[in-house]
Amino acid sequence: MQLMRSPALYRRLTPRQALGVMVLLASALAYCLAVSGGEPWTRAGERGGDVALYEQVEQRLRGGEAYHDALASELRSRGYQTRSVFNWRTPLHLRLIARLPSHSSAWLLLLLVTFAAIAMLFVGMWADGQYLPAIIWAPLGFASFASLMPGALMYSEVWAGALIAASAGAYSLGLWRTGAAAGVLALFFRELALPYVLISLLLAWRRSRRSELGVLVVGLAGYSIYFALHALAATSRITPADLEASWTQAWIRFGGVRFLLTASRVGMLLACPLWATALYLPFALLGLAGGSSPIGRRLLLTVGAYLTALCVLGRPVQFYWGAVYAPLLGFGAAWSAPACYDLVRAMLARPSKRA
């Protein structure tokens, strides 16, 4: 058993190239630590804000009220802007919780999805001979999910993130259609899952997997209808007063690395100062960047897409968007140990002598 099997990319580096990667890692760590000073903009799970809003909407659904009527009333009474359809969450998430017997049963369902994702990724890594990353992933994976965050149940991003991780786990086991279906289901919970679904569509097309393509195309078509119906229901409830209200919620903010650190600070990192995330994020990216397996490339593309987008998009209070991709960072963090080991070996290796 080869416990310390390193990422393929770093095994092929020359000493000079390995040194360059280490310098880049050190620079990233230094910069992230420099911008992490002070407290994050806000903290997850505060009893006000979105958690209180969606808890009240869910209670009204249990009382038999229509979703969009309940949501419209709560948004206005709490001072949320309602002129944009994207401020109106799609209904699946809260309707599901409202139809379950209790919050405990809903939380149990979320944990089952989380455990399934962790287990599938563990088995996938182990079957591929990635023993050390699999061992590290077992505890680290659960810590990287947002499922235990205060108020996590009410964040559709947490559900979408767990489903995306479950989709990745299914893909790592070669369950293409299951992976595609889980990714599409994440999209129905939150439209922020769209980049992952589009990346899955691209990879399925490149590898000519027709059955997976069929699931993704049908899923996207179904979601288009679902969102259109939701948009119609929302716009029918937008009043002239809503349209006349001043617009102060522009999503293009160029929050940069500071916002990335705040967004990536979910799961167990929530109990740590922001500088801990400043250390965690570069190492997680190092691990993701070194992999050559199909699942490694999928996760690198996904995390890269979200991090690039969040450098530009997202208001400070929307830090919880990070719950969509944060579990995938745990996968990269598990890979960082063998990645560093291999980089040090490459740096210290003597150049081979030519005959």
CA dist 198 and 302 (Å) reads: 10
User: For residue 352, is pLDDT > 60?
Assistant: no
Q: Are 335 and 303 in contact (CB under 8 A)?
A: no
Q: What is the mean pLDDT of residues 118-126?
A: 91
| Percentage of residues in the chain having pLDDT higher than 90 | 53
Examine the pLDDT at 69 and tell me if it is beyond 60: yes
pLDDT confidence of residue 278: 93
Q: What is the pLDDT of residue 251?
A: 61
Q: Return the higher-pLDDT residue of 234 and 143.
A: 234
**What local confidence, expressed as pLDDT, does residue 25 receive?**
94
C-alpha 344/C-alpha 164 separation (Å) is: 33
Average pLDDT over residues 47-51: 70
Higher pLDDT pick, 150 / 14: 14
Q: Which residues contact 6 (CB under 8 A, 6 or more apart)?
A: 290, 338, 339, 341, 342, 345
pLDDT at 355: 40
Average pLDDT over residues 289-300: 82
pLDDT over threshold 90, residue 347: no
Question: How confident is the prediction for the chain on average, in pLDDT?
Answer: 86
pLDDT at residue 270 in the model: 83
Query: Pick the residue with more confidence: 58 or 238?
Result: 58
Confidence band, pLDDT 50/70/90 cuts, at residue 10: confident
| Residue 299: CA count within 13 A, CB half-sphere | 35
